[in-house]
Every structure is written in structure tokens, then in C-alpha cells.
């Protein structure tokens, strides 16, 4: 079998399509065993979201327009979270070209979270126990994190690995769109598109070349793998 070409996974967020429905957040939490922390803790600002919708209001009341911007880990090519971790719990994977969090190496200095300009990282402040029937929902492919550990979006790396293994077993290359993170799968407006950026013909590559593209805080030089699309003058999204 031919040597596999290392993929460069990327995501496109089309803000002109986003309705701010938050389906991505729910799907992400279920896929990745992200615990529910309870109302009080959420109100205190300790919700564990791997993806969140930033909502801004434009204009003065009553002529206000909401704008939505789903923000997840940007999978920086030059990630500020990686060099500051003293125990290599925040690392770059060779095969997927994304940042991974190694939960059982993390000692919880929270330095990576401070140094992340996108605030994509969340911390397990307590052990969050799931009530009994809910435990059956846990995804066996994803580690359940205990207290004192940092976590974040992994582009659903477990799905990427599964997809690659399946393709390898069938002796073929991965097809474009075959692997989808939970958020992309759940998005009803198809605002999120996932794929291999190293393949210039893939849908995500074509979209990422769009004239509407921008990256979050591009000036910091973090080389994000997430591209946002936003036309001018179009409300919403």
C-alpha cells in the first residue's frame, strides 16, 4: 500500500450561514464527553465548552443586530499553548497537524489557557459526576477527564483516526468529507465545513481560498487552521 500523505486538517466557518442555533455546542459536548457543570457554575463562567458561540450586538437599541461567531480551538500551526506547558501535555501531532491535549500528562498549571489568545481551553474545576442513566451516553472513544485537567477541541481526533483506519483497511485514500467532527455533522445551515487543507481540490480548501476569508487575531502569527468567511453588509451570522 502506498505511503499515506500526512493530512492538514482544517475547518471553515461561514458566518454568513451561521444562525447561532448552538447545535454545534450540544453535539460537541455529547461526542467528547464534555461534562455538564450545572447552572451555578455556568453562571460563574466555568462552563466547559469546546466550541462556543460568541454573540455580539451591533447598533443601538432598538435597532440592534446580533452577530454570531462560533469559536473553537483554532488548531494553530504556531500554537502559543504548546511551548509554555512544562509537561508536554499540549503537543502538536505529526499525523493530523493539529494540537492535542494529553489529559493524563496534564498537571493543571493552566498556563496554556492564559496564553491562548482565543480562550479555547477549559479547565476541570471539579470532578463532574454524571447521573446514572446519563453515564450510558459516554463515548467510549474519548477519555473522561478528571478534576485539575485542561481540555479543548481536538477536531474530534477520534473520528479522524477511525476514518483513516477504515480507509486503510479498505486499501483506499480518505474521501473528502468522509471524516466530520460532531459540530460539522450537526450544523443544520452547513456553516461549518471540515476537510484536508493539503488537498487543493477539497471543499474546505476551495472555501478557505474565498475572498470572504479571515483568521481570528491573524496579526499574532499563530497560523490558525480555522478560516472564517464573512461578506460585507450581510446581516446576521
Partner 1 sequence: MAVEAKPLETAVPLPHAEEDPREHLMFDPRPREVMNRMVMEAMTTTSRRYWAWVIGLALVVLVCLLGAWGNMILTGMGLAGIRRPVFWGLFIVTFVFWIGISHAGTFVSAILRVFKAEFRRPFTRAAELMTTFALAAGALYPLIHLGRVWVFYWLIPYPNARWLWPNFRSPLVWDFLAITTYLLSSTIYLYLPLVPDLAMARDRTTGWRHALYRLLALGWRGTEAEWHRLRRAITIFAFAIIPVMFSVHTIVSWDFAVGVVAGWHSTIFGPYFIIGAILSGVAAVVSILFVLRSTMLHMDYFIRKEHFDALGKLLLVFSMAWAYFFFNDYLLTWYGGEEAARRILTLHATGPAAWVWYLMLICNVVIPWLTLWNRTIRRTPWAMFIITLLINVGMYAERYTIIPLTLGHQRMPFDWGVYTPRPTEISIVIGTFALFLLLYLLASRLIPLVPVWEVQEGQMAHTLRKVGKAEVPSVTELE
By the criterion CB under 8 A, which residues form the site for partner 1? Answer: 41, 44-46, 54-56, 69, 71, 80, 83-88, 105-111, 113-115, 117-119, 122-127, 147-150, 217, 220, 222
Per the DSSP assignment, residues forming a β-bridge with 196 are 9
Q: What is the CA radius of gyration of the chain?
A: 18
In the complex, the smallest distance separating the C-beta of residue 186 from partner 1, rounded to whole angstroms, is: 22
Q: Which is nearer to partner 1, 127 or 178 (CB)?
A: 127
Q: Which is nearer to partner 1, 46 or 215 (CB)?
A: 46
In the complex, the smallest distance separating the C-beta of residue 228 from partner 1, rounded to whole angstroms, is: 13
Q: Which is nearer to partner 1, 116 or 174 (CB)?
A: 116
In the complex, the smallest distance separating the C-beta of residue 196 from partner 1, rounded to whole angstroms, is: 28
Mapping DSSP onto H, E and C, the string for 6-74 reads CCCEEEEEECCCCCCCCHHHHHHHHHCCCCCCCHHHHHHCCCCCCEEEEEEEECCCCCCEEEEEEEECC
Q: Which is nearer to partner 1, 75 or 222 (CB)?
A: 222
Q: How far apart are CA 120 and CA 107, in angstroms?
A: 18
Spell out the residues 6+ positions from residue 129 whose beta carbon is closer than 8 angstroms to its own.
none
In the complex, the smallest distance separating the C-beta of residue 15 from partner 1, rounded to whole angstroms, is: 14
In the complex, the smallest distance separating the C-beta of residue 67 from partner 1, rounded to whole angstroms, is: 11
Q: Which is nearer to partner 1, 89 or 156 (CB)?
A: 89
In the complex, the smallest distance separating the C-beta of residue 37 from partner 1, rounded to whole angstroms, is: 9
Q: How far apart are CA 62 and CA 145, in angstroms?
A: 44
Contact (CB, 8 A) for 11 and 193: yes
Q: Which is nearer to partner 1, 32 or 90 (CB)?
A: 90
Nearest CA to 155 among 13, 1, 2?
13
Q: Given the DSSP bridges, would you call strands 9-14 and 226-229 parallel, antiparallel or unpaired?
A: parallel
Amino acid at each position: 500500500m502506498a505511503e499515506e500523505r500526512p493530512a492538514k486538517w482544517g475547518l471553515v466557518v461561514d458566518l454568513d450561514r451561521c444562525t447561532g442555533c448552538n447545535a454545534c455546542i450540544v453535539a460537541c459536548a455529547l461526542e467528547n464527553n464534555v461534562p455538564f457543570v450545572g447552572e451555578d457554575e455556568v453562571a460563574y463562567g466555568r462552563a466547559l465548552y469546546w466550541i462556543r458561540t460568541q454573540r455580539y450586538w451591533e447598533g443601538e437599541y432598538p435597532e440592534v443586530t446580533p452577530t454570531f461567531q462560533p469559536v473553537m480551538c483554532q488548531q494553530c500551526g504556531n500554537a502559543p499553548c504548546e511551548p509554555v506547558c512544562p509537561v508536554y501535555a499540549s503537543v502538536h501531532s505529526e499525523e493530523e497537524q493539529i494540537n492535542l491535549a494529553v489529559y493524563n500528562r496534564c498537571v493543571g498549571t493552566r498556563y496554556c489557557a492564559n496564553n491562548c489568545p482565543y480562550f479555547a481551553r477549559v479547565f476541570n474545576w471539579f470532578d463532574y459526576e454524571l447521573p446514572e442513566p446519563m453515564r450510558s451516553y459516554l463515548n467510549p472513544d474519548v477519555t473522561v477527564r478528571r478534576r485539575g485537567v485542561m481540555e479543548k477541541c481536538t477536531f474530534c481526533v477520534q473520528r479522524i483516526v477511525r476514518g483513516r483506519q477504515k480507509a486503510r483497511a479498505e486499501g483506499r485514500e480518505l474521501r473528502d468529507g468522509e471524516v466530520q467532527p460532531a459540530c460539522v455533522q450537526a450544523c443544520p445551515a452547513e456553516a461549518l465545513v471540515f476537510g484536508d487543507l493539503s488537498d487543493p481540490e477539497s471543499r474546505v480548501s476551495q472555501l478557505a481560498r474565498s475572498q470572504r476569508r479571515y483568521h481570528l487575531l491573524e496579526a499574532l502569527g499563530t497560523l490558525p487552521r480555522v478560516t472564517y468567511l464573512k461578506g460585507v453588509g450581510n446581516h446576521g451570522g
